[in-house]
Amino acid sequence: MSHLEWSIIWRAGPFLLQGLATSFALLILAMFGGIIIGTIIAMVRLSAPRPLAWIAAGYVNGLRSVPLMMVIFWFYLLVPLFIGRSVGAFPSALIAFTMFEAAYYSEIIRAGIQGISKGQMAAALATGMSSLQAYHYVVLPQAFRRMTPVLLTQSVALFQDTSLVYVIGLHDFMTSVSVIANREARLVELYSFAAGVYFVLCFGASRAVKKINDRMAAA
Amino acid sequence: MKLRYRLQSTLAMALVELAMNGLASAQALAPKQGAGDSAILKRILERGSINIGHREASVPYSYIDEKQQVVGYSIDLCLKVVDAVRQRLAKPDLKVTFTSINVTNRIPLVVNGTVDIECGTTSNFLSRQEQVEFSPIYYITGTQLLVKAGSPVREIEDLKGKRVAAQQGSSNEAVIRQLNDEKMLDIRIVYAKDLVEGAMLVETDRVDAMTGDGGQIKVYAATKARPAGSLAVVGRFLTYDPYSAMMQRGDQDFALLVRKAFADAFRSGEAEKLYEKWFGPLGMKIEEDLKAAFRVQALPR
Amino acid sequence: MQYRWNWSVLITDPYLGWLVSGLKWTLMVAGAAWLLALVLGCTVGVLRTLPSAWLRAIGTAYVEIFRNVPLLVQLFLWYFILPELLPYSAGHWLKRDLPLPEYWSAVVGLGCFTAARIAEQVRAGIESIGHGQRMAAVALGLTTAQSYRYVLLPLAARHVLPPFTSEALNIVKNSSLALTIGVLELTGQSRQIEAATFQGIEALTAATLTYVCLTLVVIAVMQTIERRVAISGTMGRT
């Protein structure tokens, strides 16, 4: 423990940055995909015919009950079986993350929609809107305004979760750190460095979320 | 008229047959070209690239170096296979892609066809042959003990009642567990995620020894011990671990191509040169067992 | 796919026993960490709503530190780094004399990580009660401690029940990361079976299904509670 050598991090810089870029790409794509799919699932659960709503609920509860590590692993192994050829680690991790996060986002969005009073929906329908229009013009804009901080907080958690793609050997930031740590046998330096980087990024992000939150509360 | 026609046609057929036989025998002599019946070669041709499964930090067998290139002793041997594939498919510009694998996913990824050939530190066991096909053996080692230099421990029996680290799911761990039961050694096994964490457990005195593949822990002790010389590898081989490359099972054509490429490398002495290239700088000389294995597996063409 | 399926491996001795032992460790890690997280999380959550700026700052610092570093890294720090930073005798005790150091590291790591999330829920629960109640309690002449005991906490409890159950779900799943510091819980045991039999997909399936069963129980409880506390007049489906 006594002779720490930090220069390794400097030398491995490009590799680590590449890993960080992969983490960000995963985060942003999975966030967009997850929120879109999550919104659809939430609407289905609240307003579609019962059997469809049950399927959506089953999907959400099913995915939420399996550790993310397992979901990633399963997608990587099973997707090639369905489409007949391998898709590579990144697309497969992206699909797994999007589907997984969609389940979590849909719960947040559902709670957001539920917080809107029933009168709003009834009023929209009374003006002659279809229920899709009512969601689009009345319910969702209000719900998203309320949910933005929670959605962003979940996304910060998602960013930390990207570290689990090591199970399929995709080089995100955490996996790149552990590759260097193991190759150079410098676990202490590299893991402390990772802790620092994650803290700075996630702390910064959660401060930003708080700012957004305060501004919205003030408005 | 009729008779003559028949005679002519018989003659013609005989000639055709003769020609075809000749062609067939010529074909048998020349090396086969194209993908043929091999599903793996067909998919390589379709993709325009061959996908090698590699380890991330198994120095010097299979790892990512400072220039972010996949390199190592196992990788160099697999590149011999790539050359053979290029020749066979008459595609000298066939691309090579790399997929990183670990102990948990390596067999599923070979089985599901993501990886065409796996070049890491995988021991060739008969039970694994139920799932995958193996190349000839290119490295021989066995379970040994990594201890602090100056430790009184010489053999596994010296560790009675002590703590021993082992990599999760390794064959090393399995043999320690078995010996523990047989000899009632009362060893407490501490599990480590990978070799480096196991070694760190030894260096910080959390355990009295770590078990690992002799070759790998020797490399660690030679290159990573801090200060240099503070770690030692001791003990007899507790297991027999012959390393081979893995590929999908049930493709005899591809398996033969791989066997040929390896036999050529063994026969020509290239394999020994590669060993010298990767292990020489670490101060590790090729052992007699491996030399013998190279000789035995260098089948004539 | 030329995988050779062999489901019987799951019920063969000793592999069935390994799975059961994995389940036992998953429950032991998750259970102990949950208790720690509840106690610590409620304390920190209350700290963050107290009048004293100092206590609030301590609570905030705790939450920000433990929430913003991935659990994987936190477990590593607890297990590998902490004993080296302590004085020699304390570090040595952690490393050699404490039985099952990896288990306790996992419990403390997972507990502290989850406590930060619970603290956030508790704070949000207390803050959602509104300033009026707090003022009313003061007006009644209650001390800070009394106002928390008789007014704020009972009201907040109702708000935080659903997210708490959700955190309980997370702690079960997150306990799978304990394998990275050598606790052979459910995921770890399924990998052991993979290594011993090379029937990895079967072992993973068994582990996955066990997680599903474990968490479905938690979800069922959560939805029952959610239905009970639903406030009429909002868009919730009853």
Q: What whole-number distance in Å separates Cα of residue C148 and Cα of residue A198?
A: 35
Residue B211: give its domain's CATH number. 3.40.190.10
Please identify which residue in the block is written with the tokens 């998203």: A144
Query: Does A198 sit within 8 Å of C73, measured CB to CB?
Result: yes
Q: What whole-number distance in Å separates Cα of residue A164 and Cα of residue A54?
A: 30
Please identify which residue in the block is written with the tokens 């590898």: B233
Tell me, yes or no, whether B230 and B247 share the same domain.
no
Which residues 120-159 of chain C have a CB within 8 Å of chain A? none
Q: What whole-number distance in Å separates Cα of residue C27 and Cα of residue C216?
A: 15
* Alpha carbon of C180: minimum distance to chain B alpha carbons (Å): 6
Contacts of A170 in chain B (CB under 8 A): 100
Evaluate whether C76 touches A207 at the Cβ level (below 8 Å): no
Residue B165, token pair as written in the block: 């680290």
Evaluate whether C19 touches C210 at the Cβ level (below 8 Å): yes
CA dihedral sign of residues B63, B68, B71, B75: positive
Q: Which residues of chain A have pLDDT under 70?
A: 1-4, 81-86, 218-219
CA dihedral sign of residues B99, B67, B217, B189: negative
Collapse the DSSP code of B188 into the 3-class scheme (helix H, G, I; strand E, B; otherwise coil) and give the result. Answer: strand
Tell me, yes or no, whether B220 and B280 share the same domain.
no
Question: CB contact, 8 Å: B78 with chain A?
Answer: no
Q: What whole-number distance in Å separates Cα of residue B235 and Cα of residue B221?
A: 14
Tell me, yes or no, whether B216 and B149 share the same domain.
yes
In a domain, A74, yes or no: yes
Please tell me the CATH code under which domain C7-229 is placed: 1.10.3720.10
Please identify which residue in the block is written with the tokens 């070209």: B33
Residue-wise pLDDT tens digits, C64-74: 999 999 998 99
Question: CB contact, 8 Å: A210 with chain B?
Answer: no
Q: Length of chain C, please?
A: 238
From residue C167, how far is each of A21, A69, B221, C121, C224 by CA, in Å?
30, 17, 44, 10, 16
In a domain, A107, yes or no: yes
> DSSP string of B109-165?
HHHTTS-SEEESS-B--TTGGGTEEEPPP-EEE-EEEEEETT-S--SGGGGTT-EEE
* Alpha carbon of B279: minimum distance to chain C alpha carbons (Å): 28
Indicate the residue type of A203. Answer: F
Kindly identify which residue of chain A lies nearest to residue B63, measuring between CA atoms.
Answer: A183
pLDDT at residue C238, rounded to an integer: 41
pLDDT at residue B34, rounded to an integer: 80
Contacts of B196 in chain A (CB under 8 A): 181-182, 185, 187
Which phi and psi (to 5°) does residue B211 adopt? -95, 145
Please identify which residue in the block is written with the tokens 């997707």: A79
Contacts of C92 in chain B (CB under 8 A): 205
Q: What whole-number distance in Å separates Cα of residue C94 and Cα of residue C105?
A: 10
pLDDT at residue C153, rounded to an integer: 79
Q: What whole-number distance in Å separates Cα of residue B125 and Cα of residue B240?
A: 10
Domain total in chain B: 2
Q: What whole-number distance in Å separates Cα of residue C65 and Cα of residue C115?
A: 11
Closest Cβ opposite residue B174 in set C80, C180, C196: C196
In a domain, B74, yes or no: yes
Collapse the DSSP code of B37 into the 3-class scheme (helix H, G, I; strand E, B; otherwise coil) and give the result. Answer: coil
pLDDT at residue C130, rounded to an integer: 72
pLDDT at residue B6, rounded to an integer: 54
Range of the structural domain that residue B235 is part of: 143-239
Tell me, yes or no, whether B172 and B257 share the same domain.
no
Q: What is the number of other CB atoms lying within 10 angstroms of the CB of residue A132?
A: 10
Query: Does C169 sit within 8 Å of A64, measured CB to CB?
Result: yes
Contacts of A185 in chain B (CB under 8 A): 196, 199, 220, 224, 226
* Average pLDDT of span C102-130: 89
* Alpha carbon of B112: minimum distance to chain C alpha carbons (Å): 6
Contacts by B284-292, CB closer than 8 A, 24 or more apart? B284/B215, B284/B218, B284/B219, B284/B222, B287/B140, B289/B140, B290/B139, B290/B140
Which phi and psi (to 5°) does residue B53 adopt? -90, 130
* Per-residue exposure over C99-125, b if at least 16 CB sit within 10 Å of its own CB, e if not: eebbbbbbbbbbbbbbbbbbbbbbbbb
Question: CB contact, 8 Å: C87 with chain A?
Answer: no
Q: What whole-number distance in Å separates Cα of residue B79 and Cα of residue A106?
A: 48
Q: What is the number of other CB atoms lying within 10 angstroms of the CB of residue A142?
A: 15
Q: What whole-number distance in Å separates Cα of residue B34 and Cα of residue B86?
A: 10
Mutation for testing the C interface, residue in A2, A26, A41, A64 having most C CBs under 10 Å:
A64
In a domain, B93, yes or no: yes
Residue A70: give its domain's CATH number. 1.10.3720.10
Closest Cβ opposite residue C70 in set A65, A77, A160: A160
Query: Does B63 sit within 8 Å of A183, measured CB to CB?
Result: yes
Query: Does B108 sit within 8 Å of A86, measured CB to CB?
Result: no
pLDDT at residue C236, rounded to an integer: 47
Closest Cβ opposite residue A117 in set C74, C211, C233: C233
Tell me, yes or no, whether B211 and B68 share the same domain.
no
Q: Say which residues have a Cβ less than 8 Å from residue B251's Cβ, sequence separation at least 6.
A: B38, B39, B40, B133
Evaluate whether B237 touches B144 at the Cβ level (below 8 Å): yes
Which residues 58-117 of chain A have a CB within 8 Å of chain B? 73, 76-77, 80-81, 85-86, 88-89
Q: Please return the burial class of A106, using the count of CB atoms within 10 Å of its CB with bins 0-12, 13-18 and 19+.
A: buried
Nearest to B278 by CA among B220, B219, B229: B219
Query: Does A187 sit within 8 Å of B200, measured CB to CB?
Result: yes
Least confidently predicted of B100-104, C3-7, C84-88: C3-7
Query: Does C3 sit within 8 Å of B197, measured CB to CB?
Result: no
Closest Cβ opposite residue B168 in set C101, C192, C201: C192
Indicate the residue type of A20. Answer: L
Q: What whole-number distance in Å separates Cα of residue B161 and Cα of residue C1?
A: 46
Reported as half-sphere exposure (CB side, CA atoms, 13 A), residue A178 has a value of 23
Query: Does C211 sit within 8 Å of A70, measured CB to CB?
Result: yes
* Alpha carbon of B166: minimum distance to chain C alpha carbons (Å): 10
Residue-wise pLDDT tens digits, A154-213: 888 888 888 888 777 788 898 889 888 888 888 888 899 999 999 999 999 888 888 887
Residues pairing with B234 in the sheet: B145
Kindly identify which residue of chain A lies nearest to residue C234, measuring between CA atoms.
Answer: A117
Query: Does B248 sit within 8 Å of C200, measured CB to CB?
Result: no
Q: Helix, strand, coil: what percent of chain A each, to 5?
A: 85, 0, 15
Evaluate whether C88 touches C193 at the Cβ level (below 8 Å): no
Contacts of B108 in chain C (CB under 8 A): 3, 200-201
Residue-wise pLDDT tens digits, C180-228: 888 988 988 888 887 777 777 788 888 888 998 888 887 777 777 767 7
Q: What whole-number distance in Å separates Cα of residue A177 and Cα of residue A189?
A: 10
Range of the structural domain that residue A98 is part of: 7-218
Sheet containing B246-248, strands listed edge to edge, beginning at the edge strand earlier in sequence = B95-100, B49-54, B117-119, B246-248, B132-134
In a domain, A2, yes or no: no
Evaluate whether A205 touches A153 at the Cβ level (below 8 Å): no
Question: CB contact, 8 Å: C77 with chain B?
Answer: no
Q: Which residues of chain B have pLDDT under 70?
A: 1-32
Residue-wise pLDDT tens digits, B72-129: 999 999 999 999 999 999 999 999 999 988 877 788 888 888 899 999 999 999 988 9
Evaluate whether A178 touches A106 at the Cβ level (below 8 Å): no
Question: CB contact, 8 Å: A90 with chain C?
Answer: no
> DSSP string of C43-75?
HHHHHTTSS-HHHHHHHHHHHHHHHSS-HHHHH
pLDDT at residue C147, rounded to an integer: 84
In a domain, B166, yes or no: yes
Question: CB contact, 8 Å: A86 with chain C?
Answer: no
From residue C67, how far is each of A20, A157, A175, B221, C111 by CA, in Å?
19, 8, 20, 37, 12
In a domain, A126, yes or no: yes
Evaluate whether C201 touches B111 at the Cβ level (below 8 Å): no
Q: What whole-number distance in Å separates Cα of residue A193 and Cα of residue A5?
A: 12
Tell me, yes or no, whether B119 and B250 share the same domain.
yes
Collapse the DSSP code of A3 into the 3-class scheme (helix H, G, I; strand E, B; otherwise coil) and give the result. Answer: coil
ipTM greater than 0.85: no
Q: What whole-number distance in Å separates Cα of residue C72 and Cα of residue C81?
A: 13
Q: Say which residues have a Cβ less than 8 Å from residue A146's Cβ, sequence separation at least 6.
A: A112, A115
Tell me, yes or no, whether B213 and B67 share the same domain.
no
Q: What whole-number distance in Å separates Cα of residue C132 and Cα of residue B264?
A: 86
Question: CB contact, 8 Å: B285 with chain A?
Answer: no
In a domain, A95, yes or no: yes
Closest Cβ opposite residue B111 in set C3, C95, C96: C3
Tell me, yes or no, whether B67 and B127 share the same domain.
yes
In a domain, A128, yes or no: yes
Residues pairing with B118 in the sheet: B53, B246
Domain total in chain A: 1
Indicate the residue type of C22. Answer: G
Question: CB contact, 8 Å: B79 with chain A?
Answer: no
* Alpha carbon of B201: minimum distance to chain A alpha carbons (Å): 12
Query: Does A66 sit within 8 Å of C211, measured CB to CB?
Result: yes
Question: CB contact, 8 Å: A140 with chain C?
Answer: no
